[in-house]
Amino acid sequence: MLKFLVFNLVLMGFVSNWSLIQVGLSMMCFMGLLMMNHDFCSFCLGYMMSVDYLSYILIVLSVWIVMLMVFSSTVVKKMGNFCVGFLSVNLILLMVLVLTFSSVNYLMFYISFESSLVPMLVLILGWGYQPERIQAGIYMLFYTLFASLPLLVSLLSLYKSEGSLNMGLLLSGVIGYQGTSLLWYFCSVLAFMVKLPLFMFHLWLPKAHVEAPVAGSMVLAGVLLKLGGYGLIRILGVFSEVNKMFCWVWVSLGILGGVIVSLMCLRQVDMKSLIAYSSVAHMGLVLSGLVVMGGWGLNGAVVVMVGHGLCSSGLFCLANMVYERLGSRSLMISKGLLNVMPNMGLWWFLLVAGNMAAPPTLNLMGEISLIISVVSWSKLIMFSVGMLSFFSACYTLYMYSLSQHGLFLNALFSCCSGKVVEYFVLLMHSVPLNIMIVKGSLILCDL
Amino acid sequence: MAALARLSKTAFRLNNGVLKAGNGALVASNGVLVPRAVRVVGISTSKKNKDTVTVTDAVVEQLKVKTEETTVTKNWISWGFSYDSEVEDNTVMHLTFFFGVTLCMVTIGFVWAYLPDFRMIDWAQREGYLELRRREAEGLPLIDPNLISIEKIELPLDEELGDTEIII
C-alpha cells in the first residue's frame, strides 16, 4: 500500500501543475487496477496496512473517483480559483481514503475515517457556491462527529477487553446480548448508520451534497458513503450476537426509509437534491442487506456500493454540466435538454439506467442479490422492497424525462453540447458500470 | 499508422519551432515560403549640387530585418483540458485518453477478462463436482446434514457437564 501513498505524496509536490496531477491520477488508477490479480485473502501487507478483496475494490473506486473529480472541476482551473489549494485538498482526501480502506487496526481506521471529514469540509466551504454551504458543512460535520465519538469509546473498551484492535484478531467478538453489549453495539454501529446514511439520520446528506462543488458531491456520493458500508462490514462481525437481535430495526428503517425517501424524490425540484435523496434510498437497501448477515447480502452490498458510487458520481457530474451552462440546478429551468445538448442525452440515459438498476448495469446484479438476501430474512418485506425498486425507477425516469424531454427554456440560446473532457469523465463513469457485470466475480467478495 | 501520421501533423503544427528552415532566408509558413529577413543595403549618394541642401547622412549598410508574422494564430476550439494553451490542451488530451482509455480500460479489461481462475472459483466448482461423484459412488447423501459423521463425535457424559451453560 505504501506505493500508493508515496505516489500520492509525490503528486502533492507538483500541485502547481494541474495537467500533471490529472495525468498522475490516471497513472495511479492504472497502477491500482493492475493489482487485481490477487489470490490471497490479504495482500500488500506491511506498515499496519493490508488489503483484502473488499478493501481493494473500494481503494480502486476511491482513486477512480478522485481522478474523475479533478477532470470535472475545470471551472476551478479556468477561474483560477485557488487551484493549488483545491488539488492539495483532493490529494489529501485521497490519501486519507486509501489509509482508511487499507487499515488493519480498528483505531487507525477510525482516525482516518474521521480525518476524511476535514478535507471534505474544506472542499464544501472553500469551493461551494452558495451561502447555505456553511450550514451544510456544519450539519455534515456535527452529525458525523456526534455519532462517531461513541464509536471511539466503544473501540477503546474493545481494546481494553480484548487486548488488541487488529481486525484479524477480533474473531471471537463481543459475547452476550444484553446490558453492556447492547450499549456497546449501538455505540459502534451508530457512526456508520449516520455515514451510510440511514433514513432517520440522513438530514446532512441532501444539504452537503447540494452545497458541495461538483468534486465534493462526487466524492461524497462515490466514496464517503461507502466508508459507512465498509465500516459496518468490519464492525458487524465483532457484534454478531447483538446484531441478530436488532437487525429488524435496521432493515425496517433501511427499506421503509428508502421507500419514504424515494417518494420525497418525486417532489424535488433541485436536480442535485434528487440525486442526493436517491443515494439515501440505495444505501438503505445496502444497509438492510448487510445487517441480515448473509452471503448474498454482503456480496450485493459491495456490488451496489461500487455501482452506486459510479452512477451517482456520474449523475452529479451531469447535473454540474447543466449548472455550468444554464446557471441553475432547477428542473423547471433545465428542461428539454435533448434539444440543446443532444449528445449529453446518451450519457444521461446510460447513467439514469444505472441508477434504476436496469440491465446490463452493475446495479442490477447488486440489487438482485440484495433483494434475495432481504427476502430470505422475511417474506413480508417483499412488498416494501418491491416499492423501493419501483419508486427508484419512478423518480429516476422522472428526473430524466423532466430534464431531457419537452420544450426547452425560452431564455436559452445555445450551449456547448459537451467538451471532450466532459465526455471522458462520463465515459469513465458509465463504461465500468455497464461492462463489469460481464465478469461480476471481480466485484463479488465472498469474505 | 494513421494515428502516428495525425499525431505528427498536429505536433508539427503546434510546435512550429520544430522544423523551422533553420537559419535560411526562407521559412515555411502554412506551406508558403516567405522571406524571413530582408536585407536592405543602404545606398549613399553624394550631395546633389543643384538641390537644396538636404543632408542625407551616409547610410551605413543597415540590416533591416523585416519579420513577418510566420504563424497566424487561428481560432482554436479547446478539447476542454486547457483554455489557454493549445499545445497543453492537445498534449493533456492525448495523455488522458492514453492512460484512461488505452491503459485503464482496454489493457486492464483484457487482463481482467483473461485472468486465470480468478479467486479459485473454477477450482472450487471442479472440487464440488469431484466430491459429488465420490459421494454418489459411495452411496452417501449428497449434502450431509452432519458435517462430521456422528460416530466420530464423543459427547461428554451428563455428570461431567454438571452446571455448564449450554448455548445453542
Place of cell 515560403: B33
Q: Collect all residues with Cβ–Cβ distance below 8 Å to A373 and sequence separation of at least 6.
A: A289, A292, A294, A295, A296, A297, A300
Report how far residue B43's alpha carbon sits from residue B64's, in angstroms, rounded to the nearest whole number: 13
d(CA A242, CA A262): 30
Q: Comparing C-alpha atoms, which of A116, A395, A152, A173 is closest to residue A293?
A: A173
**Contact with chain A for residue B129, Cβ under 8 A:** no
The one-letter amino acid at A175: I
Q: Do A22 and B97 touch (CB under 8 A)?
A: no
DSSP structure string for A228-250 = HHHHHHHHHTTTHHHHHHHHHHH
CB-closest option in A78, A420, A442 to B112: A442
Considering all CA atoms of chain B, what is the largest pairwise distance in Å, rounded to the nearest integer? 149
Which residues from A are below 8 Å from B when comparing CB atoms?
19, 22-23, 26-27, 29-30, 33-34, 36-37, 39, 53, 67, 71, 74, 77-78, 419-422, 424, 427-428, 431-432, 435, 438-439, 441-442, 446
Q: Are A158 and A183 in contact (CB under 8 A)?
A: no
Contact B99 A422 (CB under 8 A): no
Peptide bond connecting A342 to the previous residue in cis, omega within 30 degrees of 0 = no
The model's confidence at residue B56, banded by pLDDT at 50, 70 and 90, is very low
Lowest mean pLDDT among A294-303, A357-366, B36-45, B50-59: B50-59
Classify the phi-psi angles of A137: left when phi > 0, otherwise alpha if psi is within -120 to 50, otherwise beta.
alpha
Residue of A nearest to B122 (CA): A441
Q: CA of A303: how far to CAs of A51, A136, A258, A290, in Å?
A: 18, 29, 18, 12
> Distance, in angstroms, between B142 CA and closest chain A CA?
22
Separation of alpha carbons A357 and A308, rounded Å: 9
Tens-place pLDDT, residues A164-222? 888 888 877 777 777 888 899 999 999 999 999 999 999 999 999 999 999 999 999 99
A33 contacts in B (CB within 8 Å)? Answer: 104, 108
Compute φ and ψ for B39, nearest 5 degrees.
-90, 125
Which cell numbers hold the place of A156?
477503546
The residue of chain B with its CA nearest to that of A424 is: B97
Q: Are A241 and A176 in contact (CB under 8 A)?
A: yes
CA distances from A29 to A6, A67, A125, A440, B55 (A): 14, 8, 28, 20, 76
Backbone angles phi, psi at B130, to 5 degrees: -65, -40
**Is B110 in the A-facing interface, judged by CB distances under 8 Å?**
no
Among the listed ranges A175-179, A200-204, A401-405, B83-87, which one has the minimum average pLDDT value? Answer: A175-179
User: Which residue is associated with the grid cell 462430521?
Assistant: B148
Local confidence band at A375 (pLDDT 50, 70, 90 cut-offs): very high
The distance of B139 to chain A (nearest Cα, Å) reads: 30
**Residue B31 contacts A where some CB pair is shorter than 8 Å:** no
Three-state DSSP state, A105: strand
Question: Facing residues of A52 across strands?
Answer: A42
The DSSP bridge pattern shows strands B32-35 and B26-29 to be antiparallel
Closest CA to A246 of A198, A202, A209: A198
Instruction: Give the gap in angstroms from C-alpha B10 to the nearest C-alpha of chain A.
Output: 17
Q: How far apart are CA A439 and CA A73, in angstroms?
A: 32
One-letter amino acid for residue A325 of the chain = R
Of A29-33, A184-188, A394-398, B153-157, minimum mean pLDDT range: B153-157
DSSP string, A192-224: HHHHTT-GGG-THHHHHHHHS-HHHHHHIIIII
pLDDT of residue A237: 86
Which 8-state DSSP code applies to residue A166? B
For B15-42, the DSSP string reads: -TTTT--TTSSEEEETTEEEE-------
Distances (CA, A) of B28 to A96, A314, B13, B33: 54, 46, 11, 5
Q: Hey, which bits of A332-407 come out as E strands? A: none
| Local confidence band at B65 (pLDDT 50, 70, 90 cut-offs) | low
Whole-model pTM: value is 0.85
Residues in chain B: 168
What would the pLDDT profile of B89-147 be if each residue is shown by its tens digit?
999 999 999 999 999 999 999 998 998 888 888 999 999 999 999 999 998 888 888 88
Tens-place pLDDT, residues A49-76: 888 889 999 999 999 999 999 999 999 9
A422 contacts B108? CB cut-off 8 A: no
- Closest alpha carbon within chain A to B84: A78
Residues 6+ positions from A40 with CB-CB distance below 8 Å: none
pLDDT at B66: 54
**Chain A: residue whose CA lies nearest to B115:** A37
Residues in chain A, overall count: 447
What is the pLDDT at residue A445? 75
Structure confidence at residue B75 as a pLDDT band (50, 70, 90): confident
CB A290 within 8 Å of CB A298: yes
Q: Is B100–A33 a contact, with Cβ atoms under 8 angstroms apart?
A: no
- Check the CA dihedral A44-A363-A235-A442 and report its sign: negative
Let me know if A236 is exposed, middle or buried by CB neighbors in 10 A (0-12, 13-18, 19+): buried
Q: How far is B140 from chain A (nearest CA, A)?
A: 27
Q: Which of B104, B118, B120 sits opposite A26 (nearest CB)?
A: B104
Helix (H) or strand (E) segment spanning residue A252:
helix A240-265
Task: State residue A380's pLDDT score.
Answer: 93
Q: Can you list the pairs that A380-389 forms with residues at least 24 positions away whose Cβ atoms lie under 8 Å?
A: A381/A251, A381/A255, A384/A255, A384/A256, A384/A259, A385/A255, A385/A285, A387/A259, A387/A262, A388/A255, A388/A258, A388/A259, A388/A262, A388/A281, A388/A284, A388/A285, A389/A357
Whether B104 sits inside 8 A of A36 (CB atoms) is no
**How many other C-beta atoms lie within 10 A of the C-beta of residue A338?**
18
pLDDT of residue A37: 72
